[in-house]
Amino acid sequence: MDPNIFPRAWKPFFVWAEASGLGTMVRDSIWQFAAVEAVHLLALSVIGGAVLIVDLRLLGLALQRQSVSAVARDAAPWLLGSLITMLVTGWVLMASLAASKYYVNFAFQLKMLFLFLAIVYTYTIRRSFLKRDDSRIPPLMAKIVAVVSILLWSGVGIMGRGIGFY
């Protein structure tokens, strides 16, 4: 029996997504999945940059002459825009084989767990630090905040790549 961290009660949702018009359309096309996947990957590079540029600043490794809040403010619209793009394209990819592939794919399940944690963390704890004046962010705390962010988002990326290999 393959491991599965999704509750059984979620199964009907995945069955519904796979049977939906969108899921059927993408599944039956030879190029739509690839095209959506390409957009998903382009948005990955944007979200990667938007996350890393701020985390590198928090780690004291880039743009030290700019305040944390200023770098975060510049990155914020790119982060939100790419995140929404990732979620929309990710939904389309998932719907194509929701129940038969993704529901039972352990890498996908872990990816969703990492994604949930990364989004909650980014828009609560991390954001509360990014709004502060630099003098009110203890240096060690800044580094911890950045490392946790990089680990959570890396988890999403690695598990995303893992879906294809599981």
Partner 1 sequence: MSILSFLQWLQATPLSTGIRESTWWYPVIESVHVLSLCLFLGIALFWDLRLLALGLRRVPVSDLASRLMPWTFVGFIFMAASGVLLFVEEPVRFYGNIFFRVKLVALVLAGVNAWFFHYSGAGRSIIDWDTTARTPGGARLAGAVSLFLWAVIVVCGRFIAYNWFKPLV
For partner 1, give the closer residue by CB, 21 or 165.
165
Q: Report the candidate in 45, 11, 22, 32 with the shortest Cα–Cα distance to residue 91.
A: 22
146 makes contact with partner 1 (CB under 8 A): no
| 9-16, Cβ contacts within 8 angstroms, sequence gap of 24 or more | 10/103, 11/99, 11/103, 14/98, 14/99, 14/102, 14/103, 15/98, 15/99, 16/98
45 makes contact with partner 1 (CB under 8 A): yes
Q: What is the DSSP letter of 66?
A: S
Of 78, 91, 106, 121, which lies in the binding site for partner 1, with binding defined by CB under 8 A?
Answer: 78
81 makes contact with partner 1 (CB under 8 A): no
155 makes contact with partner 1 (CB under 8 A): no
Residue that is written with structure tokens 């828009």 in the block: 123
Stretch that binds partner 1, among 69-77, 87-95, 118-126, 128-136 (CB under 8 A): 69-77
Stretch that binds partner 1, among 13-21, 71-79, 128-136, 139-147 (CB under 8 A): 71-79
